[in-house]
């Protein structure tokens, strides 16, 4: 049995916070691509009755579980702030589960190819290895800050603090096979996604 026959063509999609990953991913999905999104998986794992909840309760106690049975994100943020090890401990629970679940979803995907959306793709060797191609959504840092501030109400210093934990724009561009320039309008973003979708369909068929 040829393994490749069961392995879909995978395009890793990444970009800094506020670069437009979700906007690009939504348009790829509307065109018919299968989408596997590690942020969505992390959220599902930590939702009420999520698969990570028991392990989180065992490691951190009931104080980290909200009344509805989900991870208490505010309590976790406060703990991670006072005890840096807590974040690593949470990641040690979540990251292997996210890796397994995203691999399972990629295998099960029915579309012509998979957009594997991973915010920290560049920072993570294991995701990069899975991808046939890497697509980076890029925009100037000032626009990232403006868009995230508008979306979430964070101020510039808070957005910059998050950006400082991520790969730099140059590091991401250095590993990109394709770059979506999201420095313009949403229509301009979608036109680029249209072109890439056609190229990914052709590449997946040619494999």
Residues 14-33: x where in contact with ligand ADP by CB under 6 A, - otherwise, as a string: -x-xxxxxxx----------
Residues 108-147: x where in contact with ligand ADP by CB under 6 A, - otherwise, as a string: ---------------------------------------x
Choose among 124, 146, 122: nearest CA to 135: 122
For ligand ADP, the closer CB: 42 or 204? 42
Q: What's phi and psi for 164, nearest 5 deg?
A: -70, -20
Angle between the N-to-C axes of helices 53-60 and 84-108, in degrees from 0 to 180, rounded to the nearest 10: 170
For ligand ADP, the closer CB: 98 or 189? 189
For ligand ADP, the closer CB: 189 or 204? 189
**Which residues between 142 and 181 bind ligand ADP (CB under 6 A)?**
147, 151
Q: Is 50 left (phi over 0), alpha (psi -120 to 50) or beta?
A: beta
Query: How far apart are the C-alpha atoms of 9 and 48, rounded to whole Å?
Result: 33
Please give the DSSP secondary-structure letter assigned to residue 62: G
Least gap, CB of 119 to ligand ADP (angstroms)? 7
- Taking the CA atoms of 103, 125, 163 and 81 in sequence, report the sign of the dihedral they define: positive
Least gap, CB of 9 to ligand ADP (angstroms)? 22
Would you count residue 182 as binding ligand ADP (CB under 6 A)? yes
Contacts with ligand ADP by CB under 6 A lie at: 15, 17-23, 147, 151, 182, 185-186, 189
């Amino acid at each position: 049995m040829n393994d490749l026959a069961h392995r879909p063509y995978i395009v890793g999609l990444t970009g800094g916070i506020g670069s437009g990953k979700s906007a690009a991913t939504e348009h790829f999905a509307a065109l018919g691509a299968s989408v596997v999104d590690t942020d969505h998986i992390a959220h599902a794992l930590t939702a009420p009755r999520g698969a990570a909840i028991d392990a989180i309760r065992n490691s951190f106690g009931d104080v980290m579980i909200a009344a509805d049975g989900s991870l208490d994100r505010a309590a976790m943020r406060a703990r991670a702030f006072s005890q840096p090890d807590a974040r690593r401990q949470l990641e040690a629970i979540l990251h292997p589960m996210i890796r397994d679940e995203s691999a399972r979803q990629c295998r099960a995907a029915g579309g012509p190819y998979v957009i594997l959306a991973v915010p920290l793709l560049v920072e993570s060797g294991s995701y990069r290895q899975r991808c046939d191609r890497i697509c980076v959504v890029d925009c100037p840092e000032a626009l990232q800050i403006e868009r995230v501030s508008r979306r979430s109400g964070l101020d510039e210093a808070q957005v910059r603090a998050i950006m400082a934990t991520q790969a730099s724009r140059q590091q991401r561009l250095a590993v990109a096979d394709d770059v979506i320039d999201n420095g313009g309008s949403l229509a301009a973003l979608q036109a680029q996604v249209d072109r890439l979708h056609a190229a990914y369909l052709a590449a997946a068929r040619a494999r």
